[in-house]
Amino acid sequence: MNRYERYRRALLDYPKPLAFLDLDSLTTNKDRILHAAGSKKVRIVSKSIRCVPLIRHLLATDDRFEGVMCYTVSEALFLSRQGLDDLLVAYPAWERTSLTDVGKEVLRGKKLTLMVDDEEHIARLEEVGQGIGVVFPVCLDMDLSVSWPGLHFGVRRSPIRSQKRLIDVVKGIEKSPSVKLEGIMGYEAQVAGVGDQVPGRPLTNRLMRLLKGHSIRRIAQQRGEWIRELKELGLSLRFVNGGGTGSLKVTSQEDVITEVAAGSGFFSSVLFDHYRDFQGEPAAGFALEITRRPTPGIVTCLGGGYPASGASGSDRLPTPWLPEGAKLLPLEGAGEVQTPVQYEGSFALGLGDPIFFRHAKAGEMCERFTEILVIKGDQVVDRHPTYRGEGKCFL
C-alpha cells in the first residue's frame, strides 16, 4: 500500500485538520541522529518537538539522549514539574518572577541551567539568587558566526565574539557567589541551519558548501582554543554543547564537544530536506480535508495557513506532501481558512479526501494542533497532546 493510502486509511475516521506522526519514520530519524552524533551525547531540542510524551519517548529510547534544550524558562519549569530533568534554557531570560521560580526549582534539587552572554544577565541572576539563597547554574553562549566585509554568516545572538570577552564574562561569573558556570554552548547556525543541497540551485549550493567548509574549520579552531583556555584557568565544565540537526556529523567530531543538540531531524520538516550531512525521512505532517472542487485539477481544503517563522519567503509555507504531485497555487499559497491545491495525478480526489502536508519547520506545526496522532502501518496507535493541547503557549 502506498504512503498516501496508508495514511488515508489510518486517519479516515478522525476529524481534520489534524497533525500526525509516522512512528517508524521517527525511529529511523532517531537512529540517524544517533549515528550522525558519533560518540557524543545528544540533547533533545524541545522547540522542534513541543510534545511532552514524544520528548519522553525519545529520551527513553537510548542512554545517549541526555537532557533537553528548552526555549523558555516557563517551558523548562513546565517540563521540570512533569518530572524531566537536566533542562538547559538555550536563550537568555530576564523576567524576575520566572527567574525566581527557576531558583526555587533548583533549590528542590532540579538541574535547570540558564543561558547568559552579558554581565547584566549575571548581575540580574546574582540579585535574584541572593534574594532567595540559590546558586544559579549557567551556561555561556559563545558566538560562532563568521564575518567578512559585507557578509555576516551566522546568527546575531551572543556578543561574546572574542576570547578576551569570554574570559571577562567568565571572571564576572566567578566573582558572583549566586551564579556558577556549568557549561558552554555555541550554535553554528550557518552550518546547522542552512541547506546545501537544494534542488535547482547548483550555484548557491556550491557557495554554501564553500562558506560552510570555511566556517566549520574556523569554528573547530575557535571552540578548541577557547575551551582549552578555560580549562587552563582551572574551570571544570559539566558540558560543552554545540551543533544542531544539520551539523551533527561535523560538530560531533570536535574533541572539546561533550554533547550535540538535535531536534528538527526527528520530524524532518521540509527545511531539513536538503542537507548533505543529514538525510531524515519525513515523519510528521498534517492532514486537511478537501471540501470544495472549484475546477478540474484543483481541490480546495479547509485550513492550512500555517507558515513558518524566519525571513519570509515561499520556503516558509507548508508543502503539499501526499498524494505526490499536489502543489500550492503560487497566487494563493496556504490560506487563512482555505488552501487550494493543484493535483493532476492518478488518485481521483473527491470531497472528504485528505491531502497531507508537511510544515517547513518541525515544532511550529504543534502550535496549530492540540494533539498528534501517532501512526504505525495503517493504524493510529497513540494520541499525544502537544504543548497547546496541554494549554501551553510559551512563545
Ligand X SMILES: Cc1ncc(COP(=O)(O)O)c(C=O)c1O
Residue 263 touching ligand X (CB under 6 A): yes
Q: Which stretch binds ligand X (CB under 6 A): 18-26, 73-81, 222-230, 262-270?
A: 262-270
Q: Which of 42, 44, 73, 90 binds ligand X (CB under 6 A)?
A: 90
Bridge partner residues of 356 (DSSP)? 287, 322
What's the closest the beta carbon of residue 17 comes to ligand X, in angstroms?
23
Q: Are 187 and 261 in contact (CB under 8 A)?
A: yes
CA-CA distance, 212 to 192, in Å (whole number)? 9
Report 171-200 residues binding ligand X (CB under 6 A): 187, 192-193
Classify 327 as helix, strand or coil. Answer: strand
216 versus 287: smaller Cβ distance to ligand X: 216
**Length of the chain in terms of residues written:** 395
What's the closest the beta carbon of residue 278 comes to ligand X, in angstroms?
9
Q: What angle do CA 254, 259, 264 make, to 5 degrees?
A: 105
Residue 82 CA from chain centroid, whole number: 20
Q: Which stretch binds ligand X (CB under 6 A): 259-267, 277-285, 368-376, 384-392?
A: 259-267
Q: Grid coordinates in use for 111?
A: 538541574
What's the closest the beta carbon of residue 289 comes to ligand X, in angstroms?
29
What's the closest the beta carbon of residue 331 comes to ligand X, in angstroms?
31
**Nearest residue to ligand X, scored by beta-carbon proximity:** 244
Give the helix, strand, coil percentages of the chain, each rounded to 5.
Answer: 35, 25, 40
What's the closest the beta carbon of residue 130 comes to ligand X, in angstroms?
28
Q: Are 114 and 73 in contact (CB under 8 A)?
A: yes
Q: How far is CA 158 from CA 74, 145, 161, 209, 261, in A?
A: 21, 10, 8, 24, 18
Q: Are 150 and 175 in contact (CB under 8 A)?
A: no
77 versus 362: smaller Cβ distance to ligand X: 362
> Which residues are CB-contacts of 350 (< 8 A; sequence separation ≥ 6)?
290, 293
How many CA atoms does the CB half-sphere of 366 hold within 13 Å? 31
Residue 264 touching ligand X (CB under 6 A): yes
Report 1-60 residues binding ligand X (CB under 6 A): 45, 48
Report 281-340 residues binding ligand X (CB under 6 A): none
Residue 258 touching ligand X (CB under 6 A): no
Question: What is the DSSP code string of 162-186?
Answer: SHHHHHHHHHHHHT-TTEEEEEEEE
105 versus 117: smaller Cβ distance to ligand X: 117
Q: Which of 54, 77, 262, 374 binds ligand X (CB under 6 A)?
A: 262
> Which residues are CB-contacts of 210 (< 8 A; sequence separation ≥ 6)?
none
Q: Which of 74, 178, 190, 245 binds ligand X (CB under 6 A)?
A: 245
Report 349-368 residues binding ligand X (CB under 6 A): none
Q: Which of 92, 137, 195, 244 binds ligand X (CB under 6 A)?
A: 244
8 versus 57: smaller Cβ distance to ligand X: 57
72 versus 339: smaller Cβ distance to ligand X: 72
Peptide bond into 17 cis (omega under 30): yes
135 versus 237: smaller Cβ distance to ligand X: 237
What's the closest the beta carbon of residue 266 comes to ligand X, in angstroms?
8
What's the closest the beta carbon of residue 310 comes to ligand X, in angstroms?
10
Classify 334 as helix, strand or coil. Answer: coil
Using CB under 6 A as the binding criterion, the count of chain residues that bind ligand X stands at 14
Q: Which of 44, 102, 125, 261 binds ligand X (CB under 6 A)?
A: 261
Please, which contacts does 312-315 make with residues 24 or more away whose CB atoms are closer than 8 Å? 315/270, 315/271, 315/360
Site string for ligand X, 223-242 (x = CB under 6 A): --------------------
What's the closest the beta carbon of residue 309 comes to ligand X, in angstroms?
10
88 versus 287: smaller Cβ distance to ligand X: 88
Residues that bind ligand X (CB under 6 A): 45, 48, 69, 90, 187, 192-193, 244-245, 261-265
